[in-house]
Structure formats: structure tokens, C-alpha cells
Amino acid sequence: MSTPSLELIRRLESNVARVLVGKPEVVRLAVIGLLARGHLLIEDVPGVGKTTLAHALARSLGATFQRIQFTSDLLPSDILGVSIYDAKTGEFAFKPGPLFSNIVLADEINRTTPKTQSSLLEAMNEFQVSLDHHTYPLPRPFMVLATQNPLEYAGTHPLPESQLDRFLLKIRIGYPGRSGEKEILRGAGVVPLGQLEPVLSADEVMDLQAATEKVRVEESLLDYVMGIVEATRRSPLLTLGVSPRGSLALLRAAQAHAMADGREYVVPDDIKQLAVPALAHRVIVKARLERPGGAEVEAEAVIDGLVQEVPVPR
Amino acid sequence: MSVRLAFQICTSLLVGDGLAALALAGLLAPSWWVFIILVVAASWWHEAIRARVTAVVRHGHLLTLLVGGFFALHLLYLAESLLDGFVHLLLFLLFFRLYTRRTLRDSRDVVLLSFFMLVAASALTVSVGFLLILVVFLLLGTWTLMLYHVMGESERHAPDRAPALIESRHLVTPSLLGLSVAASLASLVFTLLFFFVLPRVGQATLPLKARLGQMVSGFTDRVELGSFGTIQTDATVVMRVRFPDGPAAPELLVGLRWRGIAFDHFSGREWSVSRPERRTMVRVFGGHILLDRPRGTGPLITQEIYLEPIGSEVLFAAPRLLGVILSAGMVTVDALDTVTSPVPHARRQYRAVSELEVPTRRAAGVGGGLSDEERARSLQLPSLSPRVHALARDVTRGIPDPWAAALRLRDHLQTSFRYSLELKGNSAVDPLEEFLFVSRSGNCEYFASSLAVLLRSVGIPARVVNGFQHGEWNPYGGYFTVRQRDAHSWVEAYFPGRGWMTLDPSPRAEFDSSWMSSAAFQYLDALRMRWHRSIVNWSLGDQMQASWAVRQQALSWQRAVFDGGLSIPGSKRVAAIGGALAGALAVVVFLWRRGGAWTPTRFRRRGSVLVYERMLRRLARLGLSPGPGETAREFCGRVVRRLPHRRDAVEELTRVYEQVRFGRSEIGPEEVERLSRLADWLPLAPEGEAVGGRRGPPLSRLRGT
């Protein structure tokens, strides 16, 4: 791959890392989501930096950014926009909602009603909004960063599988390391979010996305992806295996991983490392294995176990 | 012994076996033996040789093209025959493959080429030594296939552990060897069983077919008038007759028929044999059983007869039968020259030599006369209606010569009576009388009985003969197909100076012309006949003939190519030779490309992968093998933790492997060399206990090369 591309990616990563201290692997996953034209679901306990990550990524790109705080009374029109009667022209004029931005932060997405959640479906999948017999294209690049809290379930509406399937990766941030957290406490070197400068233009992001699609995937690696996906479909531990959309997501994410690693070709490690973030949220673990609130953890463990079993191409 | 080593040994032995077959068949000049043996033996170290002679490897493809071109030219112009040319090309391909093999598939090609050498040799040798070579090939081949299977399956299903498995010394155990030998012997026994026994035992010995008891109803050892109505419509094939020694157009022979059994006693309703005693005739010189002497009155004709089981012991042949060759070694002959041999329920093949009758020829001293007893039996008549005698006298009135009188009677029956299969029974009168005076139509048995009776009435000794018409000529196989519907009866009459002569009174020819098999059926039947001849009854004579034919054909092709080449003027000739060369080269290139190691790009691409595999093999000896779900990087990390001193080498080999394997990068031969050395410097034992204290040079030194 060309050096400038790698340089751009490194610049983006280091910019985000200025705010999200001590979590380079999470920053890498967020960048992968961006390069692969995917959407991210960031799930973790409050206060670990979910919103900060989304915000930092958005600010690092010279792109429009909107944050939508999802609440139980939020309506689809609040995010998509509405048509308002214009008395002067005598016609209905469309007023785009906050979704019409390059980066959309859907904060606490599981707090809103399924109706509002599903209004995001078309936008996430087809990069457009259909309203009142009109279709409005969304600006490019377009990326949804959604966050949710896995612990507080009271008054929440868990995302349905169909919606989960539309997220390329599900990321867990986790607590920072001891030294990292001390650094945060110290406040030295941590840049306030507001001071973050954009390091990548929207056009550069689109170029990087186009380059990602060209990353070479050797034939046997397709078999490897299929091997993993089929293992989830056969596994007695899972009720629902990975869909073809899921296998495609894994491949795209692997290409982006290779790109972020400075390679023009995918290696088995790209696929293996991304299997959990790309697939775990797409499967349903058998009920007897579920612990209250621990289904997601179980899914990750199952996928991880399966991946270790699938033979790697040589 | 490791699986890889055992496989290599077996492959080499198979090559040796193939070369021995060529030597046995005379396809390898003794002066070349030493050279070829040396070249083949040296290929044992082909990897070492290839690694040392890098310059040759670099220009290998050019060199190979040149040599390939030479062999193509050799095939067309220099070789004694095309077969020799092919053998030389085969040897060239073998050498090439021996020295360029890298993968398991390449080694399989070597085995295949060895097999082709055996096939080439089999065309020219009938030596019993070839049997030994074949058995050795079968034993080694089974063993090689088993090893090939073990290696192939390991690579396919456990690619991570395959190098370790292939190098493991615990797999090739005496029990595996024993199993292989047992499998080879079992396949040998079964092959022999199927090849030699099954086609030859005949259907009767196998309790597989319920219809075996069925007899051909058109042929019996009795003739009973009025009892058969539909026999001749049965199209089942009874026998096939070919003429190995000519004549050129047997289908044009007039009056050809296959004589079976003769009857001399007529009861008024049925014919039978009056004296059932038989003489036994045994084999004399050359396997022949001599039955009669040639008289010089007609052409001699050899028939090769394939007789289906028809439930009769009678042997059929064109009259007059002089001798037979058959496996039984003996036959019995009765007073009426009916030849029989036991085993009526098996399919039989025999040869018969007959002297055909030529009615116009007479030979002095032939048929010196019948004994009184014979004459009496041949003139025996039951009490018949006076009308029959009167008819005979009327027809022959004024003809003193018995031969002319007999012909007159025959013609009378042929022209005044109608041939029919619809027999109208009227029990009030004798069946013969009804035929002669009431219905005036009947089948061949009525005609034959009538003629015999009429001849006897006028004092000419006569007998009825059962057999078959000549049948249908198969132009594809060059033989007669005789069916049940061809069953026929005719008459033999005795004339002084001529002996027993055939007289056929029935006007059957027009009737039979309606029977015609389709071309497709004839073609299929010819294939069936070829199967019997070439597989079931494949004799030494046939082998010699085939071998000779192959040589002749190869020579004639070569001559045709050579002469054709000379007769074509300049530019066209160059174009023809160029085209032929290009074609031959295309074949050679195709073969190489199949092996995958030929084009420089692929060679370079594969080089690093091979080096990585070599590294894996070395690490396997330290007990370090990648797990099934372990990626190259993960394995690299594990190795580095175990061998921290080798970090640079292992990481570089892994990185280049990934680049080449998944990134389609290309590396040059020098780079492959350097990486090979890098891999070879990996320890064979854990660090600190390196073999002979041999430790690798610093990486910087290697990088500089």
C-alpha cells in the first residue's frame, strides 16, 4: 500500500489516542470500522469513554458530526427529519434531522423504542432515508457510532438481531490499565476533546475506504472465513449462526485490518483477530448457557473457542 | 524409516521396475543402461543438486525447451520407430520430473511415467520375465499408493502437523508394510481370478443364470417330423465363425453350412442314428485331431468357431471336416462322421479344418465304396406308401447316372414344393406322405427327409444331416453369426467316385433373405466377439501377432511421416516441421505447468513457501508444530518465546512466507537461497544443545549474500 495512506491512518489513530488514553487496540477497531464503511456498536459500562471515543473519531475527521441522545420518548422524525409546510411556496419542505451528518453518535441506543431504533435500519444499510415518497441520500462518508450500557436494563429495549446484524463491529472498551488511568487522573498529556483538530478530510476518508476494498484476499482465506462462519452455524452451543452479511462483514473488517496494518493483502491473523468483534453480536447463544446479563460474554467466548478450532490456511 | 523416505524409495524402485521392463522389451540399448541408471540414481539427491546448480536452474526452462524440442525432432525423424521415439520422450519426461519434483503430485507423475514405461514394454514382450516385473510393479505400486495416500491426506486434513507426520519414523511400521503386501497379494489374486478364470469357465459353472438349462430347440439328435413349428424364428446367437487364414471374402462362398449330426435310420416319422457306437480320436502332432484325409477335390478352409452352450456335444464345422484343434484334446466320431466332444454346457472355442465340396470335381479312388453293412443302413426304409416309390421313379426316369438322378430329385423338391414354417398336421396319413402329396409345403426337415427317402427308393445311399445354415456375415468383425433360426436339415448322398456329397433340397434362400440384423447390432456383436477373442481367448499366438502389428504400424507411420515430409516442398515442409515441433512442445510445456514448478513466477512464489515448510520441518524436530487453528504469526510468537535467539530468522521467514503466500509477492532465486540458508541454520535441537555445537552465523552475514 502507498505510504501516504498508512501515514493518514497512523495520524488518525494517534489523534484519537490523544483523547482515549491507553486503549490503542480499541482505537484501531474504531478506525477499522471507518475504513470498512461499517458502523460501530460500543458497549460497556458507563464512564469508560464510549462517547469520548465516538466523539474523538468524529472530531478527528473534518466532517459533520451530530450526537443524538436516545431516550424513550424519541421519535423517528426526531432523527430522520420532517416535512414542513412552507406557507410562501405552498409546498412541503424537508427539514433534515440530525442523521444527515457524516458521523452520527447514537448515544445509549437501547434506551429508545424499537420504532425509533428501526428507523435507523435503512440509513445504516443503504446510506439513504426514505420519507414521504422521497429518498434522501445521506452524506458520505456516513458512519453510525452507537453506544449502549450492558448493565442497566430497566426501561431499555434491547436491539433486535436484525439491527445488531447491521453493525460491522461491536467493541468493548474496558477499564484502562493502571498506568493509563493514572495518566488520566494526572491530566498531563490528555487533550480535552474540544481541542482535538481534524486530521483527515472527508475525501481522504473516502479514498482510504476505496483502497480498503482493493486489499487482496487470497482464495484460501475465503475458505477460512467460510470455515469460521460454518462452524458457528454447526455449533451446538449456538441457536443462531452467522448470516452471510456477517461473513461479508468479517471479510471487510479483515481487509480494513490489513490496511491499518500497512499491508495490501489479508493474512489469516486479520480474520482471526476480528472474528469476535465482527461476529459475536450476530449469534444467539443457547438459553441454558446464558447467565443473566452475560449472554454477550458467552457469545464472545463461544466464537473465540470456535475460531481456535478452525484450521488456518497454510 | 519416515513416510517421506519410504515413499521416495518406493518411487525410485518403481522407476527401476519401469526401466527393467523397457530393457526386457529391447527398447533400451544395453549401451545406455549405465548412463540411465546413473542419471536415475543421481536423482535421489535432486534437491541438493538443484540447490547447488543455481545457474542451471535459472536457465532451466530454456534448456528444457531445447531438449524437449530435440526429443520432438527425434520422435519424428531419428527414432527407429514411433514407439522408440515415444519411449525416449518418456525417458526424457521421467528424468525431468525426477529432477524437478517438489510436491507430492510431482512424485505421482513419476509413478505414472513408470507405469507408461511398463505399458510401452508390454506391447513388445511376451517374456515370462515381464510377469515378474508386473508383479513387482503391483506390489510396489500398492505400497506407493498407500504412502501417497497417507502423505496426501495428512497434508489435506492436518496441514499443520503434516511435516511432522511425514518425517515421523513411527508411521512406517512392519504392520503397515505387512498390510500393504497383503493388500497387493490380495489384489494380485483377485486380478488373476477375474482375468483368467471368470471369462474362461463358461456360464455353466456359475450358478448365476436360471436359463442355462435352456437348449437350442432347433437342434437335436433326432428329427421328428411335424413337431417343430417356430424354431427358426429364434434369433439367439448359437455360434460365430471366423476364418483366420482366409479366404479373402468368405461371405461369397456358395453353399457354406455347418454340419452337426447325421441320421441314417428312418422310422417313417422320425430319423435317428442306427449305430450309436463312437470311436475316440486323440490329439496328434501340433495339437490337431485328425479325422479324415484331404482328397484334393476342394479348397481347404480353417474355421475358428465360438460355440455357445447349446446342450449338445456335437461339434459343428463345414463339411467335409478333416481335423479339429480344441482344448479338450479328444473327440468321438460315430459311423456317420458326427463329431462330438463332452462339456456340452460350456462356451467352447475350437478350430476346424475342412475341405469344401466342389460338386463338379471328381477324384479317382475317392470313396472306395461302402461296406455292405453301411450300404444297407444307408438304404434302410420303413414301409412306405407305394406312391412314394412311384414318385421317385417318375422323377428319375431315363436318368441312369445316380448323381444326375439325385440332382434331378433335389431340383424337383426345390421347384415343386413350398418352404413354410406353418406345418399343417393331418394325422390320417404319414407326415411324409402328407408333405409329398397333400400339403406340398413344409420346413427343411420335410424336404430333407423326403429327398433322403426318394434317393433311397432309387437305390442311392442317403442320410439326413442336421446343422446350421452359414448365418449372417458380420462385416465389422469379419465373421458369420449363426443363430438358432439358422438351424437346418439337409441330405448327404453317397456316389461312387465322389463320396458323400451334400444335397440341400429346401428352397430356403428366398425365405431367409428377410432376416437382416441392423448395423448397430452387428457392430455391437463384433465388439462382443472381439472381447471373446482378445480377452477371453488371448493366446500366445495372438500376443505375437499384436506385437508384430504394433511394430509394423509404428514403422509405417514413421515412413509415412518421413516420406510425406520429403515430398512436401521447402517452405511448407519447414512449416510442417515447425508445427509438429510446436505441438510437441505444447504437450511438454503443458505437462510441466501441471506440475506447477515450471514458470519462473510460480517457482519464485513457491520458493518461500517451500522454505517456510522446511523451517516447519526443522522446528517439528524440536517439538514445535503449529496447531490447527494457529496462524503463522501466532506460531511465530510461540517459537520466538522458545527460541529467543532465532527471533530475527523466524520472524523474517514468517513475514516473507505471508507476503508470498497471501500477498502474491515474488522473490528471486537468490532470495530463496538466502532464506533456505536462514532456515537451515535453525537448530535441530533446543538451543544450548545444538548438534555438534553448530550455531547459526549472525543474520547480518546471511543478509549480505
Residue B209 has pLDDT above 50, yes or no: no
CA separation for the pair A197, B44 (Å, rounded):
67
Residue of B456, B452, B467 whose CA lies nearest to B320: B467
Residues of chain B with pLDDT > 70, as a percent, come to: 75
B658 touching chain A per CB within 8 A: yes
Within a domain: B576: no
Phi and psi (nearest 5°) for B570? -25, -75
Kindly give the pairing relationship between strand A128-131 and strand A143-148.
unpaired
Is the Cα torsion angle A271, A273, A274, A277 positive or negative in sign? positive
CA distance B129 to chain A (A): 47
| CA separation, residue B261 to residues B337, B413, B466, B565 (Å) | 8, 22, 5, 61
Helix or strand run (H / E) with residue A255:
helix A244-260
Q: Which of residues 290-309 of A touch B (CB under 8 A)?
A: 307-309
Return the C-alpha cell found at B212.
442355462
B160 touching chain A per CB within 8 A: yes
- The answer to whether B663 contacts A272, with C-beta atoms less than 8 Å apart, is no
DSSP bridge pairs for B469: B257
Residue of B105, B542, B521, B629 whose CA lies nearest to A275: B629
Average pLDDT over residues B379-404: 85
Residue B560 has pLDDT above 80, yes or no: no
A223 touching chain B per CB within 8 A: no
Within a domain: B207: no
Q: Which of B463, B493, B527 is the last residue of a domain?
A: B463
Q: What is the DSSP annotation of A112-163? A: S-HHHHHHHHHHHHHSEEEETTEEEEPPSS-EEEEEE-SS--TT--PPPHHH
Within a domain: B240: no
Return the C-alpha cell found at B29.
540399448
DSSP bridge pairs for A83: A94
Q: Which of B154, B169, B201 is the last residue of a domain?
A: B201
Q: Position B683: which residue type? A: P
Q: What is the largest CA-CA distance in chain A?
A: 69
Per-residue pLDDT reduced to its tens digit, B218-265: 566 667 776 555 545 677 788 889 888 777 777 777 778 899 888 888
CB contacts, 8 Å: A308 with chain B = 629
CA separation for the pair B369, A291 (Å, rounded):
118
Chain A residue with minimum CA distance to B163: A314
CA distance A243 to chain B (A): 22
Per-residue pLDDT reduced to its tens digit, B66-112: 877 887 777 776 666 777 778 888 888 888 888 877 777 888 888 89
Residue B672 has pLDDT above 70, yes or no: yes
Helix or strand run (H / E) with residue A92:
strand A91-96
Quickly tell me which residue has 457392430 as its cell.
B523
B576: confidence class by pLDDT, cuts 50, 70, 90? low
Return the C-alpha cell found at B555.
514403422
Beta carbons of B338 and B275 less than 8 angstroms apart: no
CA separation for the pair B38, B44 (Å, rounded):
10
What is the reported pLDDT for B516? 64
CA distance A2 to chain B (A): 15
Kindly give the pairing relationship between strand B499-503 and strand B487-495.
antiparallel
What is the reported pLDDT for B217? 45
Beta carbons of B493 and B319 less than 8 angstroms apart: no
Per-residue pLDDT reduced to its tens digit, A102-144: 888 888 888 888 888 888 877 888 888 888 788 888 888 888 8
| CA separation, residue B504 to residues A309, B381, B445, B492 (Å) | 88, 20, 11, 8
**Residue B659's CB: how many other CB atoms inside 10 A?**
19
Beta carbons of B433 and B387 less than 8 angstroms apart: yes
Q: Residue B673 is part of which domain span? A: 600-703
CA distance A17 to chain B (A): 26
Residues contacting residue B677 through CB under 8 Å, at least 6 positions apart: B702, B705
CA distance A175 to chain B (A): 26
Residue B380 has pLDDT above 70, yes or no: yes
Within a domain: B418: yes
Residue of A265, A285, A274 whose CA lies nearest to A307: A274
Residues A154, A155, A161, A162: what is their CA dihedral angle, to the nearest 10 degrees? -170
Residues B295, B296, B299, B301: what is their CA dihedral angle, to the nearest 10 degrees? 40
CB contacts, 8 Å: A310 with chain B = 628-629
CA separation for the pair B446, B269 (Å, rounded):
10
A262 touching chain B per CB within 8 A: no
By Cβ distance, the residue of B626, B631, B662 closest to A218 is B662
Residues of chain A with pLDDT > 70, as a percent, come to: 93
CA separation for the pair B7, B69 (Å, rounded):
32
Chain B residue with minimum CA distance to A306: B629
Average pLDDT over residues B660-688: 71
Please indicate whether residue B56 or residue B64 has the higher confidence score (pLDDT). B64
User: Which class is A1-74+100-128+136-206 in CATH?
Assistant: alpha beta
What is the reported pLDDT for B683? 64
Q: Position B635: which residue type? A: F
Residue B615 has pLDDT above 80, yes or no: yes
Residues of chain B with pLDDT > 90, as a percent, come to: 1
B221 touching chain A per CB within 8 A: no
Beta carbons of B625 and B611 less than 8 angstroms apart: no
What is the reported pLDDT for A271? 92
Looking up residue B409, the CATH number of its domain turns out to be 3.10.620.30
Within a domain: B155: yes
Beta carbons of A208 and A9 less than 8 angstroms apart: yes
Within a domain: B445: yes
By Cβ distance, the residue of B628, B633, B663 closest to A269 is B633
Kindly give the pairing relationship between strand B487-495 and strand B462-469.
antiparallel
Average pLDDT over residues B677-695: 55
Chain B residue with minimum CA distance to A264: B663
CA separation for the pair A120, A37 (Å, rounded):
16
B103 touching chain A per CB within 8 A: no
Quickly tell me which residue has 458326427 as its cell.
B338
- The answer to whether A216 contacts B662, with C-beta atoms less than 8 Å apart, is yes
By Cβ distance, the residue of A264, A272, A309 closest to B631 is A272
Quickly tell me which residue has 533400451 as its cell.
B28
Residues B527, B532, B538, B541: what is their CA dihedral angle, to the nearest 10 degrees? -80
CA separation for the pair B268, B282 (Å, rounded):
37
Within a domain: B520: no
Return the C-alpha cell found at A227.
470455515
- The answer to whether B630 contacts A265, with C-beta atoms less than 8 Å apart, is no
Question: A76 in the Ramachandran plot: left (φ > 0), alpha (ψ -120 to 50) or beta?
Answer: alpha
Number of compact structural domains in chain B: 3
Quickly tell me which residue has 441457536 as its cell.
A239
Q: Where are the domains of chain A?
A: 1-74+100-128+136-206, 215-314
Residue B26 has pLDDT above 70, yes or no: yes
What is the reported pLDDT for B91? 85
What is the reported pLDDT for B424? 64
Phi and psi (nearest 5°) for A75? -110, 155
Phi and psi (nearest 5°) for B346? -110, 155
Q: Which of B421, B442, B463 is the last residue of a domain?
A: B463
Per-residue pLDDT reduced to its tens digit, B424-444: 666 667 778 888 887 777 888
By Cβ distance, the residue of B632, B633, B664 closest to A216 is B664
Residue A199 has pLDDT above 80, yes or no: yes
Q: How many CB pairs under 8 A join A and B?
A: 53
DSSP bridge pairs for B503: B491
Burial of B288 (0-12, 13-18, 19+ CB in 10 A): middle
A225: confidence class by pLDDT, cuts 50, 70, 90? very high
Average pLDDT over residues A3-30: 84
Return the C-alpha cell found at B531.
472381447
CA separation for the pair A119, A129 (Å, rounded):
9
Within a domain: B459: yes
Residue B193 has pLDDT above 90, yes or no: no
Cα B134 from chain centroid (whole Å) = 17
What is the reported pLDDT for B570? 58
A269 touching chain B per CB within 8 A: yes
Whether residue B508 is preceded by a cis peptide bond, meaning omega within 30 degrees of 0, is: no
Residues A292, A294, A295, A297: what is their CA dihedral angle, to the nearest 10 degrees? 180
Return the C-alpha cell found at B209.
443364470
Among the four given CATH numbers 1.10.8.80, 1.20.58.220, 1.20.120.1200, 3.40.462.10, the one describing domain A215-314: 1.10.8.80
- The answer to whether B663 contacts A263, with C-beta atoms less than 8 Å apart, is yes
Residues contacting residue B5 through CB under 8 Å, at least 6 positions apart: none
Length in residues, chain B: 705
Return the C-alpha cell found at B280.
475316440
Least confident range from A222-226, B90-94, B519-523, B566-570: namely B566-570
If DSSP codes are grouped into helix, strand and coil, which group holds residue B223? strand
Return the C-alpha cell found at A214.
482493493
What is the reported pLDDT for B170? 73
If DSSP codes are grouped into helix, strand and coil, which group holds residue A284? strand
Residues contacting residue B650 through CB under 8 Å, at least 6 positions apart: B615, B636, B639, B640, B643, B682
Return the C-alpha cell found at A73.
420518548
Mean pLDDT of chain A: 83
Using only C-alpha atoms, what is the Rg of chain A?
20
Residue A253 has pLDDT above 90, yes or no: yes
What is the reported pLDDT for A296? 55
What is the reported pLDDT for B592? 58
A263 touching chain B per CB within 8 A: yes
Kindly give the pairing relationship between strand B300-307 and strand B348-355.
antiparallel
- The answer to whether B629 contacts A310, with C-beta atoms less than 8 Å apart, is yes
Least confident range from A176-185, B45-54, B202-211, B237-246: namely B202-211
Residue B521 has pLDDT above 70, yes or no: yes
Residue B369 has pLDDT above 90, yes or no: no
What is the reported pLDDT for B213? 36
By Cβ distance, the residue of B160, B629, B662 closest to A267 is B662
Average pLDDT over residues B34-62: 72
CA distance A26 to chain B (A): 20
Please indicate whether residue B28 or residue B368 has the higher confidence score (pLDDT). B28
Is the Cα torsion angle B244, B247, B251, B255 positive or negative in sign? negative
Helix or strand run (H / E) with residue B260:
strand B257-263
Per-residue pLDDT reduced to its tens digit, A33-71: 999 989 988 888 777 787 788 888 888 888 888 888 888
Whether residue A141 is preceded by a cis peptide bond, meaning omega within 30 degrees of 0, is: yes
Residue A255 has pLDDT above 90, yes or no: yes
Please indicate whether residue B297 or residue A245 has the higher confidence score (pLDDT). A245
Phi and psi (nearest 5°) for A312? -85, 135
Whether residue A158 is preceded by a cis peptide bond, meaning omega within 30 degrees of 0, is: no
CA separation for the pair B91, B97 (Å, rounded):
10
CB contacts, 8 Å: B631 with chain A = 267-269, 272, 312
A214 touching chain B per CB within 8 A: no
Average pLDDT over residues B435-458: 85
Chain A residue with minimum CA distance to B155: A314
Please indicate whether residue A305 or residue B55 has the higher confidence score (pLDDT). A305
- The answer to whether A269 contacts B629, with C-beta atoms less than 8 Å apart, is no
What is the reported pLDDT for A256? 92
If DSSP codes are grouped into helix, strand and coil, which group holds residue B390? helix
Length in residues, chain A: 314
Burial of B30 (0-12, 13-18, 19+ CB in 10 A): exposed
Average pLDDT over residues A256-266: 90
